[in-house]
Structure 1
Amino acid sequence: MSATRILLLFLAINIINYVDRQVISGVFPLLKDHFTLSDAQLGLLGTAFMITYSLTAIPFGAWSDRWLPHKVAAIGVGIWSLATVSSALAWSFGSLFFFRALVGVGEAAYVSTAGTILSNAYPEHKRSAVLGLFNLGMPIGGALGVVLGGWIGVTYGWQWAFVLVGLPGLILGHFAFRLPLPRVEPAEKRPRFHLREIGQLLRNRPYFYTALGYAGISFAFGAIVLWVPTFFERSMGYSLADATMLSGALQVGAGLLGAPIGGWVGDFWQKRNPRGRLYTLVLSMLLSAAFLWAGLLLGSLVCFFFSAFFMLWHVGVASAVIFDVTDRSVWNTASAVAMFLMHALGDIPSPVIVGWISDRTSLFTAFSLLPISMLLASLFFYMASRTLGIQKREAL
């Protein structure tokens, strides 16, 4: 199968991935009323899948390095799709938390393998651009999830929102399982997984700082995507339907422009400087933080758009950096460890923290603190660029 067809299939799966992930954001007000939940509990529902996602990403990544990554990915798609449909059966906060947590198991199998499959299918000099196109699933799928969740939930009930968005993944997972892709390296030549592989990765300073930078992005982005429809409803006076449509439109527009432009800038800069992708991340996080603060102070949708635009520069570039600074033989494991750190320090705690602050002050106050994590991300990416330069000089 051609590389383009592989990209299109995995882009479609990634869109469904984020639809299923973010559909809950569109039905937050409905769930709050149905189960009588606090904002902190809503935040927990938003991060339920991230907990299992983080805990299972490393085992799935190690397994993928030793078997066929596309089949591991396909199994993951099937698991999360069934879990999304099952969320419609929830009868309590605890049962809904369980089903959403099961979504994370499937996503871990998929996300820890998909980037590696595409990086093997395309040459290195196209890596940021290809991963940027693949990660268009984030803004497109995330926006669709919010919009569809809100529209289906208001029209037919929140249960149908989970059912209708969960079914397409089962079909796409079948196609992924049947991909005629060979092993990159015969499985019998790969040693058994040892925990020291993780230790070796964490001692790789450019990799470690990149993962921390990823976590800083995740902290802000995860909370914003999950809470922004509710923020527009409460703080800016929109109806739920209008708030979900507006947040979806902003995310799609910023993503369709930001993800490919960020990937192009990262590749262009990398050709002229071996730390170009890292410098791209440093710049984009600074600009995103500045525009978010401006948007909050001025109540400006234009500033919110540019904050999202620069935020979404990272989606292909940060993934490419992970592959740039690690050995090909451990790419799946490296992706999984980075995903674990990203979520454990990022979008697992942030929606709950935002909900906790909102319960005690306001959602506006909680949002005003989020740019701090973007500034920290920019600092960590800068440290990664510095240590990468030292590492390269030591290797000479």
Structure 2
Amino acid sequence: MLIQHAGPTTGEVSVAQTGVRAYAWVVFALTVGLLLSDYMSRQVLNAVFPPLKAAWHLSDAQLGSLSSVVALMVGVLTFPLSVLADRWGRVKSIVLMAAMWSLATVGCAVSTSYGQLLLARAFVGIGEAAYGSVGIAVVLSIFPVRLRATLTGTFMAGGAFGSVLGMALGGAVAAHLGWRSAFGAMAAMGIVLVAIYRLVVTEKRLVPLQPASVTRQAQSRGVCMSLRALMQGLFSTKSVVCAYVGSGLHLLVPAAVWAWLPSFLNRYYGMATGKAAMCAAVFVLVTGVGMVVCGNLADRLSKNARERKWVAAIAFCLACFVLLAIGFQMPAGPWQLVVIGAGMFFCAGASGPSGAMVANLTPPTIHASAFATLTLANNLLGLAPAAVLTGIVADRIGLLGALQLVPFAPLVAAAAFMIGKRNYSGDLDRLNALRERAAG
């Protein structure tokens, strides 16, 4: 069985043409813009949990399933669809995916039952499935290697900022026009962004931004390899497996808290739907800022010591655990929200270091598939189960009790990162030696 990839996703941007470098930032902005639309369509649901629960008399487990089904589809389909994107063309695939999740969001707006809404949400997930891996592959292919953690953290933070917009705007629209209009507004924004991306970004215009070696490889052989060779590249070391696992587990926290914080504020602070959504959006914004800052900090710390990316990831996970474990035990009030907010700053901080470590530990020719594997781990270990498991536990011990258990996930993630750190230097030296022999 042959698997085809479109080429490496790393390299130095050409410095000979300043216009090319400027276009790289345009591509980055538009790609992140579509990621915003992705998460706006995904997270608008959380803002309308209270009116949806009242209108259809849904349980917390059912509400959680409407959120988790998206991440489940992303987790199951991200790898095969990423491989197809490499074969068919990344830009064309991005346009198709964005169009699909936008139209599926229209389907959410016109659903008349829980079953129909669950199906529409599943198609939102199908459309979004490979966007994270394909989008970051496009971005990393046109920027310097030294910016990997910063770019990865910033790109993934687009999910947080999109969630902010989805929850805040969705809650405001729902408060004035109803929950169906909230879905419709997110769909309209997505369709507009798809049209702009289609007009501005093309495969041909990306080629000058990539290293000459990438272009030659793509043109000469299409970078074909067997499935066995691909698997060996993706899971060649203990440390890269630890990076996958740690990244996935630590993202259970933002997924659970983002999904249930509007309901938490509605039930325990007596906030109306619109106000609860706006307040929850602030916490999501804090998460996004934390992802950018933590990614940049990891790059700065690891300039002269490559193991420090792992140390940074461990520190971010432990900080999240301590702050949220304390925060959700505190009585309701301003200080509880401050401590929870501090925990949310670190809750996805390991995303940038994890992405950089995966890129460092896998061959450049399979980075799209490597990021698809990372996306698979993120969704199956963290994003997909978070909302529904929290909902199931909440039906039994209450929402507050369920949220008090969530902070233990980054503690387990920190343990995975510790194991990865112990093996990282040896694994990286061995991989570099293999690449030098292959090049020679």
TM-score (norm 1): 0.94
Superposition map of 1:224-303 within 5 A:
224-256=257-289, 258-299=290-331, 300-303=336-339
Counterpart in the other structure of 1:48 = 69
Which residue, out of 348, 354, 366, partners 2:402? 366
Which residue, out of 79, 91, 110, partners 2:131? 110
Q: In 2, are the aligned partners of 1:210 and 1:381 still within 8 Å (CA)?
A: yes
Tell me the distance in 1 between the aligned counterparts of 2:229 and 2:256.
33
Tell me the distance in 1 between the aligned counterparts of 2:348 and 2:81.
26
Partner amino acid, structure 1, of 2:346: F
Tell me the distance in 2 between the aligned counterparts of 1:168 and 1:198.
38
Counterpart in the other structure of 2:255 = 222
Counterpart in the other structure of 1:355 = 391
Partner amino acid, structure 1, of 2:266: E
Distance 1:36 1:195, change over 3 A: farther
Question: Post-superposition shift, 1:393?
Answer: 5.0
Distance 1:181 1:19, change over 3 A: same
Is 1:387 aligned with 2:423? Answer: yes
132-141 vs 208-217, which moves further: 132-141
Partner amino acid, structure 2, of 1:243: A
Counterpart in the other structure of 2:345 = 309
Counterpart in the other structure of 1:328 = 364
Question: Post-superposition shift, 1:176?
Answer: 3.0
3-state DSSP class of the match of 2:206?
coil
Tell me the distance in 1 between the aligned counterparts of 2:197 and 2:423.
38
Tell me the distance in 1 between the aligned counterparts of 2:386 and 2:28.
31
Q: In 2, are the aligned partners of 1:254 and 1:306 still within 8 Å (CA)?
A: no
Is 1:59 aligned with 2:80? Answer: yes
Partner amino acid, structure 1, of 2:326: A
Counterpart in the other structure of 2:122 = 101
Consecutive unaligned residues of structure 2, counting only runs of 5 or more, are: 1-19, 208-213, 434-440
Tell me the distance in 1 between the aligned counterparts of 2:144 and 2:186.
34
Cα deviations by residue, 1:183-209 (Å, 9 ceiling, x for unpaired)? 852385322662652354234322211
Question: Post-superposition shift, 1:380?
Answer: 1.0
Distance 1:236 1:161, change over 3 A: same
Counterpart in the other structure of 1:161 = 182
Q: In 2, are the aligned partners of 1:78 and 1:169 still within 8 Å (CA)?
A: yes
Question: Post-superposition shift, 1:38?
Answer: 0.4
Is 1:19 aligned with 2:40? Answer: yes
Distance 1:389 1:181, change over 3 A: same
Question: Post-superposition shift, 1:32?
Answer: 1.0
Counterpart in the other structure of 1:318 = 354
Tell me the distance in 2 between the aligned counterparts of 1:51 and 1:187.
37
Superposition map of 1:71-110 within 5 A:
71-110=92-131
365-374 vs 106-115, which moves further: 106-115
Partner amino acid, structure 2, of 1:44: S
Is 1:3 aligned with 2:3? Answer: no
Which residue, out of 181, 189, 198, partners 2:222? 189
Q: In 1, are the aligned partners of 2:251 and 2:347 still within 8 Å (CA)?
A: no
Distance 1:330 1:29, change over 3 A: same
Distance 1:338 1:130, change over 3 A: closer
Partner amino acid, structure 2, of 1:253: V
Cα deviations by residue, 1:119-175 (Å, 9 ceiling, x for unpaired)? 111101111222233233122111111112222112111111111111222232233
Partner amino acid, structure 2, of 1:111: G
Question: Post-superposition shift, 1:107?
Answer: 0.9
Question: Post-superposition shift, 1:110?
Answer: 1.4
Tell me the distance in 2 between the aligned counterparts of 1:334 and 1:394.
18
3-state DSSP class of the match of 1:297?
coil
Equivalent pairs counted in the alignment come to 395
Tell me the distance in 2 between the aligned counterparts of 1:187 and 1:284.
43
Tell me the distance in 2 between the aligned counterparts of 1:27 and 1:125.
41
Question: Post-superposition shift, 1:285?
Answer: 0.7
Partner amino acid, structure 1, of 2:120: F
Counterpart in the other structure of 1:170 = 191
Question: Post-superposition shift, 1:353?
Answer: 1.2
Counterpart in the other structure of 1:337 = 373
Tell me the distance in 2 between the aligned counterparts of 1:54 and 1:312.
18
3-state DSSP class of the match of 1:90?
coil
Q: In 2, are the aligned partners of 1:75 and 1:109 still within 8 Å (CA)?
A: no
Q: Determine which structure has more spread, i.e. the larger CA radius of gyration.
A: 2
Q: In 2, are the aligned partners of 1:74 and 1:110 still within 8 Å (CA)?
A: no
Distance 1:55 1:195, change over 3 A: farther
TM-score (norm 2): 0.85
Tell me the distance in 1 between the aligned counterparts of 2:384 and 2:220.
33
3-state DSSP class of the match of 1:135?
helix
Counterpart in the other structure of 1:143 = 164
Partner amino acid, structure 2, of 1:13: L
Distance 1:279 1:242, change over 3 A: same
Consecutive unaligned residues of structure 1, counting only runs of 5 or more, are: none
Q: In 2, are the aligned partners of 1:10 and 1:114 still within 8 Å (CA)?
A: yes
